[in-house]
A = this chain, B = another copy of it.
């Protein structure tokens, strides 16, 4: 590997104790930890910093099973050594699943053609503590049919403003996003909401799930999802699911729409 090779990292993390992906002064973040480990691996001077760019900027408490990141290696270390070295330097809550040399024009965020998030729900009346760290225990008695009806309405190109919240001044250029698929799958004895889109707005998945669980509980009718997409400026109750149940599941780099 040449001294300026671009490196792709595939990684997973338990986001419980981190203030999200993005590095911030005086906060413990996943990006901050990885950049510190890269600095030590390549024996960089304290003032130097090699930026590590992630595909998705997950929020505080959100997990990742398949985050992707890249950086430009300041020196030549073989990929197996990068993986082993970073894992030795990182806390157990962050694991590099793979390291590989990437094309010089690879970019973890800008080359991504889509991302899949999964949200894990536990639907027993009382949930074992061995299962609740990475899921939202919503109790039993939810109407699965109504939730699936609501989820189906999310697919397509829509104005997702009603499923979005951002601090003033951080609004994106457009609230329109292209959702390829949105549906529930069973995984083990968990009910998992899986959504794949070209891109996501802040809190979009957690607001989707919060709305769908409210529908499952009979607090909202299933048609409410289509109404929120048709008339995104209308007022109404807003629901946001907790961070712990959410994980960035996969980042896609294939042809757009063919994840």
Contact = CB atoms under 8 A, between A and B. Distances in A.
A195 B97 CA distance: 32
Contacts of A128: 12, 65, 95, 97
Interface residues of A, number: 23
Interface in A91-142: 92-97, 126-130, 132-134
Interface string A35-78: 00000000000000000000000000001010000000000000
A21 interface: no
A13 interface: yes
B87 A126 contact: yes
Contacts of A94: 129
A147 to B, nearest CB: 24
A109 B126 CA distance: 24
A247 B95 CA distance: 25
A82 to B, nearest CB: 13
Contact of A14 (B14, B129, B247): B129
Contact of A95 (B65, B95, B126): B126
